[in-house]
Amino acid sequence: MKVTILLICSCLVWGGLGKPQFPDQEKDPLFWNTWAQRTLKNALTLQKLNQNTAKNLILFLGDGMGIPTVTAARILKGQLSRQSGEETQLEMDKFPFVALSKTYNTNAQVADSAGTATAYLCGVKANEGTVGVSAAAVRSQCNSTQGNEVTSILRWAKEAGKSVGIVTTTRVNHATPSAAYAHCVDRDWYSDGEMPAEAVQAGCKDIARQLFENIPNIDVIMGGGRKYMFPKNQSDVEYPGEKKHFGTRIDRRNLVEEWNNRMKNKNAHYVWNKKELLSLNPNSVDYLLGLFEPGDLPYDLERNNETDPSLTEMVEVAIKILKKNPSGFYLLVEGGRIDHGHHEGKAKQALHEAVEMDRAIGHAGLMTSIYDTMTVVTADHSHMFNFGGYTPRGNTIFGLAPMLSDVDQKPFTAILYGNGPGFKVVNGLRENVSTLDYEENNYKAQSAVPLSMETHGGEDVAVFAKGPMAHLLHGVHEQNYIPHVMAYAACIGQNRDHCMSSSGASSLSAALPSLTALLTLIRLLC
């Protein structure tokens, strides 16, 4: 009986589709052979490696963007353009070099965003929950901070004379961006209002304060996190009546006002909404602080297009400001809410965030050159997210699988989570998803294990690279290898010997003809 129901359901689904959901040209072997040959010719050109020095460095970090998320986002991107989706190319798919990154923390098999950020920004693996400190530091133990600080590639770039920027869809003092400038044994110490009193008394600094004090002249800072910059109980400029958005600082400092005062003679601008941001002339802006929400920015699907900038819009302004520096720039861009969507079991929110980040990647590519700009796209960790169920070609990525379960005879969506808030039992049985709007923006996909928040996944994540020295990202690497490669490509940090030897070799090569002529003349005279 179960098998009969399964077959009937499958036939109904396939029968409803009519002819196969793929272009007729795909029936012809010539189509696939031609495509493969074209790809082969392109691959052969990669033998001519780009060994230029990278003037600019851009790291796009999709927080929680595991490989299943990349694949699902690719399909969504295509389906948003009325294609079946599977054959679509993401912008990151076009990068010529791809590697895998092992994401574990020094004390965790399945990583968190703080320890991983320390790895791919500072080049050192670290404990979960800590940013900008080595594994000798212990989470939440203030006295384990001093002496265990590690510096980031953003600082290396700044010290080399480059402009530097941070753009994120989360709080600017969230785990990912904070590892670029902070040294903190607890990722949750956003302001002193979130710190234990003994840690403050012992001299540990909150992350918001470190944003402005550790590397005081970060050229571009954009994201959320306004409330952590203002005195406790000070109302927010955008949401004056909502107490949850009030300032959190117990020390009563106004960090935005302090920044404005310090930068008043430096073509610096503070903005808090999209209109102010887009009204700026980047040519007359050298420093920009943009804090667009009290906390994280809204999901892209829920974004107010009039007041909140998209990730792509923020990236465009950032690059326009940073690229004015003749020495180049380093830019960290985080698609941070991919992670939040997955934690909440809201796959639609997560995947639209990934598509928006891919849009920003493409836009950055149009504004820069592969000849002098190294661009890397990766993730800090994965999630307990996947999709399957023998879905037919072109099936909406948020749709049902073409069968019923042969165990409980209920339908299921292609997207599922291993754990999370989508677990639900009705009268002792799994919920019937066909009675729900499973394509709604905030639908929580079913999960196997009930948790209030879905967890990270432990598998390797992809690393996409293009530009100078991109070929050095290949195979399977430890995550902390990434900033070392980028520093090597740009001749910053500790990786500068090859740049000096290259220039020396060039000088010697240029001098060899003259030296040979001189030796010949000496022999003739003698």
Q: What is the pLDDT of residues 409-464, one digit of tens each?
A: 999 999 999 999 999 999 999 999 999 999 999 999 999 999 999 999 999 999 99
Helix (H, G, I), strand (E, B) or coil at 41: helix
| Distance of alpha carbon 208 from alpha carbon 227, whole angstroms | 10
Annotated ligand binding at 339? The verdict is: yes
Least confident among 250-259, 263-272, 375-384, 494-503: 494-503
Three-state secondary structure of 461-517: EEEEEECCCHHHCCCEEECCHHHHHHHHHHCCCCCCHHHHHHHHHHHHHHHHHHHHH
DSSP code for 235: P
What would the mean pLDDT of 356-369 be, rounded to a whole number? 98
| pLDDT reading at 229 higher than 90 | yes
- pLDDT above 90 covers what percent of the chain? 88
SS3 content of the chain, % helix, strand, coil (to 5): 40, 20, 40
Per-residue pLDDT band for 508 (boundaries 50, 70, 90) equals very low
Predicted pLDDT at 37: 95
Residue 484: name the closest of 472, 497, 466 by CA: 472
| pLDDT reading at 286 higher than 80 | yes
Annotated ligand binding at 431? The verdict is: no
Annotated ligand binding at 456? The verdict is: yes
What would the mean pLDDT of 482-500 be, rounded to a whole number? 92
Annotated ligand binding at 219? The verdict is: no
Residues in the chain: 526
| Distance of alpha carbon 208 from alpha carbon 142, whole angstroms | 16
| pLDDT reading at 123 higher than 50 | yes
| pLDDT reading at 67 higher than 60 | yes
Helix or strand (DSSP H, E) at 412: strand 411-413
- Tell me the per-residue pLDDT of 106-119, one tens digit each, with 9 for 90 and over: 999 999 999 999 99
Per-residue pLDDT band for 19 (boundaries 50, 70, 90) equals very low
What would the mean pLDDT of 289-318 be, rounded to a whole number? 97
Predicted pLDDT at 47: 85
Predicted pLDDT at 327: 98
Annotated ligand binding at 174? The verdict is: yes
| pLDDT reading at 126 higher than 90 | yes
Annotated ligand binding at 316? The verdict is: no
- Tell me the per-residue pLDDT of 376-389, one tens digit each, with 9 for 90 and over: 999 999 999 999 99
| pLDDT reading at 522 higher than 60 | no
Placement of tokens 């990647």 in the chain: 361
Query: Token pair for residue 287?
Result: 């420093």
383 phi, psi to nearest 5 deg: -140, 170
Annotated ligand binding at 176? The verdict is: yes
| pLDDT reading at 64 higher than 70 | yes
> Helix H segments across 45-112?
67-80
| pLDDT reading at 12 higher than 80 | no
What would the mean pLDDT of 192-198 be, rounded to a whole number? 98
Per-residue pLDDT band for 502 (boundaries 50, 70, 90) equals very low
- Per the prediction, the chain carries an average pLDDT of 92
Predicted pLDDT at 501: 56
Q: Catalytic pick from 113, 163, 178, 447?
A: 113
Cβ neighbours, 10 Å, residue 201: 10
Per-residue pLDDT band for 495 (boundaries 50, 70, 90) equals confident
Predicted pLDDT at 41: 92
Contacts with 420 (C-beta within 8 Å, 6 or more apart), sequence order: 343, 344, 345, 384, 444, 445, 447, 449, 450, 451, 453, 454, 455
| Distance of alpha carbon 55 from alpha carbon 160, whole angstroms | 11
Predicted pLDDT at 21: 67
Per-residue pLDDT band for 358 (boundaries 50, 70, 90) equals very high
| pLDDT reading at 523 higher than 80 | no
- Domains by residue range for the chain, with CATH: 50-384+455-490 (3.40.720.10)
pTM of the model: 0.92
113 is known as an active-site residue: yes
Burial class of residue 17 (count of CB atoms within 10 Å of its CB; 0-12, 13-18, 19+): middle
Per-residue pLDDT band for 216 (boundaries 50, 70, 90) equals confident
| pLDDT reading at 261 higher than 90 | yes
